Amino acid sequence: MSTLLVTNIAYLATFDDDAREIKDGALLVRDNVIEAVGTMAELEGVSADRVLDLSGHIVMPGMVNIHHHMYQNLTRVMVQDDELLVWLKTLYPIWSALDDHAIGVSARVAMAELIASGCTTSSDHLYILPNNCTLDATIDAAKDLGLRFHAARGAMSRGQSQGGLPPDNCVEKEEDILKDAERLIHSYHDNTRHSMSRIILAPCSPFSVTPGLMKDAAALARAHKGVHLHSHLAEDLFEEDYCHDVYGMRSVGFAESVGWLGPDVWFAHSIFMTSDEIRLFADTGTGVAHCPSANMRCGQGIAKIREMLDMGVNVGLGVDGSASNDTSNMFMEARLAMMLQRVAPNKYLSETPGGRGGFGGTPKALSAREALTMATRGGARILGRDDIGYLAPGMSADFIAVKLNQLGLSGTQRDPLAALVMCGPFKVDYSFINGREIIADGQFRHLDVDGLLASHQTVMDRIYDQ
C-alpha cells in the first residue's frame, strides 16, 4: 500500500455534506482512496510515502461529465449556422465512414481534453457504430489514459426507410444491439465502489429507435445491478413534433410510456419541458444532463435549470459532442451554465401584470457554487456513484488543482473557488484519478500529446478522403 500526503493547499473546496472550504488544507490518500481531509494543523504529524506541496493552489473534486459524443471531434466546426436537423443530416454520411481505429483515437483526444479541464469521470454516448465499430475502443482508451469511465452503448435502429431520421446505413438491427449490450455488461461493467468502468445502455433518441428497443434496453439494464439508462429527450422542437405525429404524445410522455423514468435514467438536454413534466422528473428521480454550450451552438433554447433544481431534479453537466460544442472543457461548461440561467426568460415577469414578455433574468438565478456542484456531486449522483463527486474520507481519490498565481486568476483572492467559474475557463496543473497522478505541473505524465494529435490528423485525412 502507498500513501500520498498533499500539503499546504491554499484553498481546499471539499463539496462534502457540510460544503467545507478550507484554507491551508491537506489531504491524505492511501492507494486510491482518501483517508483524511482537513487543515494542515489537523493533519500535523501525519507521514506518507510521498508528500506533494500544493502551496498557492486551489484543490477541488474532479468534475463529472455525463454527456458526450467523443468521436465528433473528427468533425468540429462544421455546419456552423444551421439547426439541429440540418446539422445531423449533414454529418451522418461522414460519421458512416468511422471505424474502430477512428473511434479509439478520437476518444483519446476527447479524454485528454476533458482531463486537462478538470474532469476525472466521464460518460460517452457512442450511438453510431458503422464498419464494426465497438465500445471496446473507447473503454481501452479510458484505461490507457486513466479516466474513470461510463461507456454508453448507444444505438440507432430506425432508419429513414422505417420513418426515422438517420440514413439506413447508420442503423443496426435491434437483436444485434441487445446482444452486444449484454456482451459489454459481462465484459466491462464493474458495480463495486471505486470502479473505473461501468456500462450504460443508451438508445439514441425518439426519432432514431423504436419503442420496442427502448423497452428491451430498459429490461436488460434492470436485470443487471448498476447498469443505468441514458438518451436524448426534449432536445429540439423537431423531436416534439415527431413524437406528436408518430406516437401521439409529447417527448416526456413517450419516455414514460416505454418505462424510461426513474433514478436509473437520465436524459440529455431536456429543454422543452413543462413544469408538470419537470415535477414528474423530480418525483421519479429521473436525471438531466445540462449541455449549455451545445444548446446555444444549435440555437435550441435554454433549459429550465433553476426550476429543475428548485423542484429537486437531479441535474449534472455534459459537454456534449465535440461537433456541437466544439470543445470538451468542463470549466467552460460550468461557466456557461451559470451565465445562461442569468439571462433565461423569467417566468415570474411574464406572470406579472404589465410584465415584459418573460425576458429579463436575475443575477441570483444560478451561483458559481451551484454550477460546480452540478459538475461534481450532481453528475456523480446521476451516474449512481457514492464514491466520487466530493472529497471526504472513504471517497475515491479524484481531485484537481489549479495554480492561483496566474493571469486570469490574479485579484481573485476573495473567492478563488468562484473564480474557477467566473474567470475561466482554465486548465488544471494537477489531476489525480483513482489516486494516480495523471497531470503534474500542467503536463500529462504518461501521454504523448504530439503523437496523439498526429494520429488524429491521419484519421481525419482518411475519413474525409472517402
Which CATH number does 63-382 carry? Answer: 3.20.20.140
Q: How far is CA 438 from CA 9, 55, 94, in A?
A: 19, 19, 33
Burial class (CB in 10 A: 0-12, 13-18, 19+), 110: buried
What is the distance between the alpha carbons of residues 248 and 234, in angstroms, rounded to a whole number? Answer: 15
pLDDT tens digits, one per residue of 414-460: 999 999 999 978 999 999 999 999 999 999 999 999 999 999 999 98
Helix (H, G, I), strand (E, B) or coil at 3: strand
pLDDT band at 358 (very low <50, low <70, confident <90, very high): very low
pLDDT tens digits, one per residue of 286-304: 999 999 998 988 888 899 9
Contact between residue 388 and residue 123 where contact means Cβ atoms under 8 Å apart: no
Task: Check for a shared fold between 3-62+385-444 and 63-382.
Answer: no
What residues have CB less than 8 Å from 456, skipping those under 6 apart?
Answer: 73, 74, 105, 106, 109
Q: How much is the mean pLDDT over the chain?
A: 92
CA-based end-to-end distance of the chain: 51
171 vs 94 pLDDT, higher one: 171
What is the distance between the alpha carbons of residues 339 and 331, in angstroms, rounded to a whole number? Answer: 12
Structure confidence at residue 88 (pLDDT): 76
**Pairing of β 287-290 and β 265-269:** parallel
Q: Is the pTM of this model over 0.85?
A: yes
Structure confidence at residue 87 (pLDDT): 77
- Mean pLDDT computed over 184-193: 98
Helix (H, G, I), strand (E, B) or coil at 354: coil
Q: Is the peptide bond before 292 cis (omega within 30 degrees of 0)?
A: no
Q: Kindly state the cell numbers that stand for 168.
A: 439506413
Domain ranges of the chain: 3-62+385-444, 63-382
pLDDT tens digits, one per residue of 116-149: 999 999 999 999 888 889 999 999 999 999 999 9
Contact between residue 267 and residue 287 where contact means Cβ atoms under 8 Å apart: yes
| Architecture per CATH, 3-62+385-444 | Roll (2.30)
